[in-house]
Amino acid sequence: MTVSSKKGAAAGETLRQDFPPAVDYNDMLIAELREDPAYAEIYLQTALEDIYEPGGVAAFLTALRRVIEARGGIGEIAKKSGLGRQNIYRALSENGNPTIKTLTEITRAAGVRLVPAQRS
């Protein structure tokens, strides 16, 4: 992206500055989750601990979708889990309501564990 500005330029001149394109937060996070499996566990565990907060279920499902994307995507998890792709998409959608069995199969295929924590 190039931006032109007269600020700081001599009269009649225009300064040009090149700025790098914006970084997509979601893509950056998925890359970090892919590179660091321990971080993926912590990220998912934190989302699980906040599940009782307002919006917590949707936030947890979003976190799980990101971990799945980092672990090869829905197609890869479907192959490993034996669940249908549409079933996984539906379960992890914004309005998803996955069963404990579905969550177990998805997390097992993604190589992560859900560990309940005591509420304080």
Number of neighbouring beta carbons within 10 Å of residue 111: 14
pLDDT for the residue 2: 45
Supply the pTM of this predicted model. Answer: 0.76
Question: Could you report the average pLDDT of every consecutive run of 10 residues in the chain (120 residues)?
Answer: 50 66 84 92 92 92 96 96 96 91 95 81
**Are the CB atoms for 5 and 13 separated by under 8 Å?**
no
Dihedral (CA of 44, 57, 105, 28) sign: negative
